[in-house]
Chains A and B, each alone.
Chain A
Amino acid sequence: MGQSLILSNNVVDPTSANTISDALAMAPVVPIYDSNNPGGYGYGDPNTNNVIGENPIAHENLVERKDKNLRIRGTIWGELAILKNLKYRLNLGYELNFDQSKTLRKEGNWRMNMAHESSYVDEYSGRLDKPLIENTLTFDDKFGKHALNVMIGTSYTKETYNRISGKIQDILQTSEGKYYDVLDAGSTLPKVGGYRNIGALLSYLGRINYSYDDKYILTATYRRDGSSRVKKENRWGNFPSVSAAWRISKEKFMSSLNWLDDLKLRTSYGTLGSLNIGYWDYIPTINTFLAATFGTDQLQQNAATQTNLVNENLKWESQTQLDFGFDAISLNNRLTISADYYISKTKDVLTAMPILLTAGNGAGNPVVNAASIENHGFELNIGWKEQRKDFTYFANLNLSTVKNKVTSLGYGRNEIISGQARTAVGRPIGEFYLIKADGIFQNEKEVQAHKNSKGTVIQPDAKPGDIRYVDFNDDGKITDADRQILGSPHSLFQAGLNIGLAWKNFDLKMNWFMDIGSKVFNATKQYMWGADGGGNGDSNYMKGFAYWTPEHPTDIPRPIAGKIENRRDSDYWLENGSYAKLKTISIGYTLPNKFLHRIMINTCRLYVTCQNVFTISKFSMQDPEYRKDNIWNKGYRGTLAYPNPFAINFGIQLEF
């Protein structure tokens, strides 16, 4: 018998907008505070500062949001030895998760051209119930040099999430301007809402481990997973796998190699499934939220129709992988090496994929089995650890490479263009698909000399200081049709390095990471260098920004107010995305034991940890590690997400 209980409580004050982006994009001549504006914040005006950047301080102050989450997870298990080598185990789990969120919108604006919005309180609370039942029957025995472990089992989990929400406008205020931030303090347009999500997963599991003399090891597993998230016919997925290992170092012919402590050759082949989609993505439903106005009295009548299309035939995504590798331990267990080469085929990747607008779909794209992808790559891990008297140290280096190729796309398509990237069958996912920039026009003569094969001047309206683009389709003008594949967002390799040192009671740990060889599209720079109102106004460029002038020709195009010619999606904005960073460094001190035992403490360690210490990179803005979660346009960097924060944590670790 046994049990465990985990409890966590979380309070977050999330940002209401893209704070960093807004701070940089707002023209510096616009004051932060301006008592002439509703709410009292400055944000430009049509006559003197025709910018539509947001005042981030205003936005954060006028929209106050707080999210809370209380999570309780408990398990109880019991084991019954039916026979000496046969055990039955029952595992019961329960997860409870309460989340609450409250937003107070105060009156006031943070952007020019904002319609007046009344104050409101918007609040929701939800509860997740997630029971888990697992039954397993395990047979475990040895017969001479044969060892056999057989397990069969079932697992069932069901999650139910209930949410209710309320919103109300025109919140009561004191004469000093303080808001009573509860729903009861609102007076107009109360709204309620609520929904329930339910999902279930049932699995049958089986596993056989067999080994002979700990030298030949065979494992076979089988999973049959059933999910409520796809239609009945596609509900069950069968996922078998087998693996074999040969501990070659145990063979007699290897025994002379004293420096080798252990060497194991491995191979495996297997399939895993995933169904990471919404609860009822496969069922077309009716949107009953609609309304239309009719009649002399202009009253609202309900309206309903199917607004969103779905793919009813969604099925399990599966990944089949073939792997060859070895693990070696050498030099008195100080050196460990493991290496792998793998080929994997991911079939029927489940994700949203852009569909034609002519289908008439509402918001968002339906989830679909969107692509099949082949990956292959190497992984290498090298570890070293050693102890010398009071001094111990270790270092782990891992290196990995991966190459991918799309073998098919959903809806029978041959390519997908998403933003600045194109994914085509037979090629890697999300290659950059851009117009090629070819330097800066230095003078009028160069503008006139830039012609296509028929002698048409390609950019007749360009001025010296503008970007020269390649007319890829030779039609005498620069359009979308001039895009071409210009680089990959995928890295050549990634590497991680963990180093640890300990001397007496002191310890030091470092965690490095590098990602080399990718290209990224710097949408942040593209946006910031725009001279129109959407970007940075017409006066505010970052310090040291030296754009092209006849006197000081540089490779930065001249800013043009009200035109996007120098901001097109071109490879001018492509940059080297390689970086290396010290992700964490941690120093600790463990207090001497003698003293602690008296107060019933086994160990006590004090430590300081620094996160995101520094980054070495040629990327010109922010932290290149930022990723947007869009598999079709992986290399897109922008527009100024909240950066990975530099953080210092002080901590005490106690064991009783």
Chain B
Amino acid sequence: MKTKKIIYTCCLIACSLCNQACSDLLDIDNPNKQTTNEFWKTEQDAQLGVNACYAIFYRIGSWHRYLHWRFDLLSDEGYSMSPLVQTSDWTRFIYADYNHDNNQTVIWREAYRGIFRANQVLTYVPQIEIQDAKKKDAYLGQAYFHRAYNYFHLAILWEEVPLVTNLQNPGDQPKQGTLEDVWNLIEDDLLLAIDLLPEEWEREEKGRITKGAAKALLARAYMQQHRWEDAKKQLDWLVIGEGKKYYGLVTNYKDNFSHLTENNKESVFEIQFSDALNGGESDEKGATNGHQRSIIFGLAGIGFRDGLARPWLLDLYKQERTKDGKLDPRLRVSLLYKDLATDFPTEETGKFYGKTWEEGGWGNDVYYRKYSRDDFRTTEDRHSQLNFRVIRYADILLMYAECLNELGKTTDAYTYVDLVRERANMRPLKEAYPNIGNDKQKFRERLQTERVLELNGECVRWFDIKRWELYNTPQGLAALRERDPDYDNFIVGISHRQPIPSSEIVNNPNLKQLEGY
């Protein structure tokens, strides 16, 4: 009996010891990663979180790849020769699969990832103690801008999208907003950002969002809604107001698309790219900080020939000569084509990526040249270091002219168009096109052309087409079709937006597919 007792006692002790130790045995912290609870405590965390908002630009559905593809090729400027049929069909207003990953889904997904990052900053940073109030303002201002900027792309491409302004649980089903709701959200965020952001950044912080960038984006958003007066007010600051001192046109047009002259005075909002990191396109260690524009739009054999320019751009440039009777110098910066070397015999070597046009076998193709690296490389890769100028001052001046014209101040508008023309050595508008006079409609039409000549290949044409609703008149649609046969598939009332990814519709009862899809 005695032994039994001893055994039982031992067992009891063992059990109780174990019970005590058990919980500890199963408490295992993740040694690899900081938890969300441990983060968002210090100013440094705020800084890292804000930086993460910028890092979304290096992702495939953002400026790393597909935004270039979407905006330039959907517009009448460009078209796709991608062997991936669905992805080239995507630029032809043909949507066979509403869930196709390269098209429907990728930009949508990246935009909401960016919104998630901005929402984290906006949720957590207000609680972090940061001594310098201006710094804290700037963190929050940048996050407001990033959220608005992601919604801007959603508003342009889909219009009626779910409004997510707080952190989501995996099962959340956010409500769909009207286009007006989305514009209101963008407006609210940008007005806050404008108040919080600094007017300029130190040397080592260049590329961060400034007050001017937020005002420019807000003006663009207002203009898409034809709110000309509101837009003009924002632009006033940049063009005639206090902000004017930060901006100007660079002498050499090409400096807007070179890696050697980045963040210059013409830059209003510029995405910073670098080839220092050349990893993949996901959120992994060493992921790329470059972009793929130069390879996807690149010459066949060097690049992928996924995006090309329509030849009407070439013809348009050749319609007007400079003051001294030469071809528009912007032509050779904007386009690559067969006769480039003969058209510009003194400026061009005739070699592109080290090859002549014949050696490359590029035939009658016309390629975008902005952000191409043909002048300093012989190959292409997925890590172009050329900063992408989302909004530059020439665009601001033309936007300002547009607002003035729409507000009936056509005479005033001439000044700003002429500033842009002057840099290209083109005669003043009045001289070159005397019959426009004070005719608002004629001025508007000319301005539309001026914007193409100055801004083609810079991902703004689709915004312009939507703003001017070129497709809503029979003549307008016919002209679009003449310039770009992809518009044969354009259906009025439907094709100005693309279908929402069907997985989103299926999994969210609060979300309806867009009319017509």
Q: A interface vs B, CB < 8 Å?
A: 45-47, 50-52, 82-83, 112-113, 115-116, 137, 154, 156, 158, 189, 191, 193, 195-200, 202, 226-228, 232, 235, 279-280, 283-307, 309-311, 354-363, 365-366, 368, 410-413, 415-417, 479-481, 530, 532-534, 562-565, 568-569
Contact = CB atoms under 8 A, between A and B. Distances in A.
A289 B262 contact: no
Contacts of B278: 189
A299 B426 CA distance: 38
A288 B33 contact: yes
B240 interface: no
11 contacts: A113-B304, A115-B295, A116-B380, A286-B35, A295-B204, A298-B274, A305-B117, A356-B173, A357-B112, A359-B170, A562-B88
B273 interface: yes
Interface string B481-517: 0000000000000000000011110111000010001
B507 A304 contact: no
Interface hub of B171, B379, B513 (most chain A Cβ within 10 A): B171
Given A115-B382, A304-B39, 7 more contacts: A116-B381, A287-B33, A288-B34, A292-B289, A303-B51, A305-B117, A357-B503
Contacts of A305: 48-49, 52-53, 117, 120
A294 B205 contact: yes
A292 B54 contact: yes
B176 to A, nearest CB: 10
Nearest to B40: A286
Contact of B380 (A115, A154, A196): A115
B407 interface: no
Contacts of B25: 156, 158, 200, 202
Contact of A298 (B31, B262, B301, B501): B262
B134 interface: no
A286 B42 CA distance: 14
Contacts of A416: 506-507
Contacts of A311: 170
Contacts of A357: 105, 108-109, 112, 501, 503-504
Interface string B281-319: 011111101000001000011001110000000000000
Contacts of A302: 48, 51
Contact-residue bracket for chain B: 35 or more
A361 B305 contact: no
A300 B18 contact: no
A521 to B, nearest CB: 15
Q: What 10 pairs across the A-B complex have the smallest Cβ distances?
A: A360-B116, A533-B83, A411-B171, A303-B51, A305-B52, A285-B33, A295-B204, A292-B54, A532-B85, A304-B48
A193 B285 contact: yes
Interface stretch (B161-169, B226-234, B396-404): B161-169
Interface string B185-211: 000000000000000000111111000
Contacts of A280: 30, 33
B506 A358 contact: no
B419 interface: no
A138 to B, nearest CB: 13
B3 to A, nearest CB: 8
A295 B285 CA distance: 21
A413 B507 contact: yes
Nearest to B115: A360
B366 to A, nearest CB: 15
B181 interface: no
B267 to A, nearest CB: 12
Contacts of A530: 85
A473 to B, nearest CB: 12
A200 to B, nearest CB: 6
B167 to A, nearest CB: 9
A30 B106 CA distance: 32
B112 A293 contact: no
Given A46-B305, A360-B113, A290 B83 contact: no
B385 interface: yes
B49 to A, nearest CB: 5
A286 to B, nearest CB: 4
Interface string B1-36: 001100100010000001000110111101111111
B172 interface: yes
Interface in B41-66: 45, 48-49, 51-55, 57-58
A360 B164 contact: yes
Contacts of B89: 563-564
B361 interface: yes
Contact of A195 (B32, B120, B274, B506): B32
Contact of A300 (B289, B501, B507): B289
A289 B116 contact: no
B283 A289 contact: yes
Given A193-B285, A226-B22, A309 B170 contact: yes
B203 A293 contact: no
Contacts of A361: 113, 116, 170
Contacts of A368: 170-171
Contacts of B108: 357
Interface string B270-283: 00111011100011
Contact of B206 (A46, A83, A294): A294
B96 interface: yes
Given A292-B272, A362-B283, A534-B84, A307 B113 contact: yes
